[in-house]
Structure 1
Amino acid sequence: MSLDEYFKRSREQLEAEESENEELDREQEVEGEINYENDDGDNSMEVARMSDLCPLTYTNWKAIPKKKKTIWAYVNKRYIVPEKGQKDVYAIINDAWRRYKWLIKKNHFTKYRNLRERLKNRPDGILEAHFKKLMTYWRYEAIREISHQNAKNIDKQKWRHRAGSISFAVIRERLSK
């Protein structure tokens, strides 16, 4: 789910609540619109590609605690988001950040044989120091073993988006009790 989809959904939900409650203060907050200047559609990927907000030098999203406040401030400049949406915004940006790292690994690490070729074909938007650190990390034997084991585990799964014979609706209902 992209940031635009989340905010559209959230705005629609808030508008429905406001019409029922007729709270003028909340009504003014919801009237804000997305700033569509220079908008390419998926702003979560835009945030994930910003090296000052989401550096690629981290191996895990949880390791970026100091940057999350800056990310939240950036998102609030572009959108009107209630505080309760902060966790969802971080989840969307986390997914985009991981997808971006996967694309970099696919297009710039596994595609080339050595570091010289990889550096020559480095993406424009990534700092060379960050790119080198990422390439070094992916070259570690322990990291390669983890990656291969994860790939094997995914290949073993028959249906990746299922939870066995129990549907997600049933699981969600049980968790809500």
Structure 2
Amino acid sequence: MQVTEQPSTLPSLFASVVAARGGHDAVAMPQETLSYAELDRRSARMARALLAIGAGKGARIALMAPDGLLWITTFLAGLRIGALVSAVSTLCTPTELAHILRNSDTQFFIGARRFLRHDYAATLAAGLPGLDDAQPEKLRLAAAPYLRSIWLDDAEGLPWARTVDDLAARADAPDA
């Protein structure tokens, strides 16, 4: 009897699923359906983008978004590079969010700006004093001392945030 070695990490497990079922649906959302192969490509691109902004093995990423393409793509990308990804509840209060970011030593925050009746940018600003006066990618906040950058799916009017699209574009830079 031959014993086959099982994948020992989630990225290697995902790679084996992509190899076996690449053309099959992995994620089906009302606006878009992704195959395993396309999800693999998108998460690889996001992983390159994360590396381009300084995230890597051991980096601490907070992910606050509803179930969907942003969430799964970013989660898989973080695992690919060996980052520690904290899934943050979309129901957090400003105080809870500040506590999570501070105590998890989060360096990079990636998420949705809004979902349903929730405004996560407002939650961030309320929980992190001084955020409204901060510069993007150069954050220095007492409430979250390790947090350096915030990436949202919509950053319009937020001087302290950049868009997830801007982040993803970093993957295409020659040195990414």
Do Structure 1 and Structure 2 share a fold, with TM-score over 0.5?
no
Which structure is larger by alpha-carbon Rg, 1 or 2? Answer: 1
TM-score, length-normalised on structure 1?
A: 0.25
From the two aligned structures, give the one with the greater strand fraction.
2
More contact order relative to length (CA 8 Å, sep ≥ 6):
1
TM-score, length-normalised on structure 2?
A: 0.25
From the two aligned structures, give the one with the greater helix fraction.
1
